[in-house]
Amino acid sequence: MRFFVVGMMTASPFAARAQQAARVYSIGYLAGSNRTPQLDAFLQGLRDLGYVEGQNLAIEYQLAAGQLQRLPEMAANLVRLKVDVIVAGTSLAALPAKKATTTIPIVVLASHDGIGTGLFASLARPGGNITGIESFSSGHQRQTH
């Protein structure tokens, strides 16, 4: 997943980035629960890459606290806020995000049966604006491309 965030944030040419040194990237974090190991690992990964919340990174948290029926409304709110990327904690959060936008990139931290639920077209080619990590019952994880 690091490659996606880094790739997204470094996609502009070096000269353009030098002119926009003060740019603050915005991430919409959408999850069905308040705090997860995936969120902690994601935030640590961002820090390891030099992205610090409140300095060069703003995160809009949309946490449903177990009230999953709120996820579509929260996903729509992230779209209205025009975040640079939506990070979904699980497939349950990614599905409403996918319905809310076809243009904002979506990264799924932990997908389960992403193909069966219609989240990804295939593992090799997830399709659209979505990518992430698919978990398999055997305990192995595979990254989509």
Q: Which of 1-15, 48-62, 107-121 has the highest mean pLDDT?
A: 48-62
98 within 8 A of 128, measured Cβ to Cβ: yes
- Residue 14 pLDDT > 50: no
pTM above 0.75, yes or no: yes
Starting at the edge strand found earlier in the chain, the sheet holding 130-135 runs: 57-63, 25-31, 85-88, 106-112, 130-135, 141-143
What tens digit of pLDDT does each residue of 64-114 get? Answer: 999 999 999 999 999 999 999 999 998 899 999 999 999 999 999 888 888
Average pLDDT, the chain: 82
Token code pair at residue 72: 């579509």
CATH superfamily for 2-6+22-143 is: Response regulator (3.40.50.2300)
CA distance 68 to 134: 20
| pLDDT at position 19 | 52
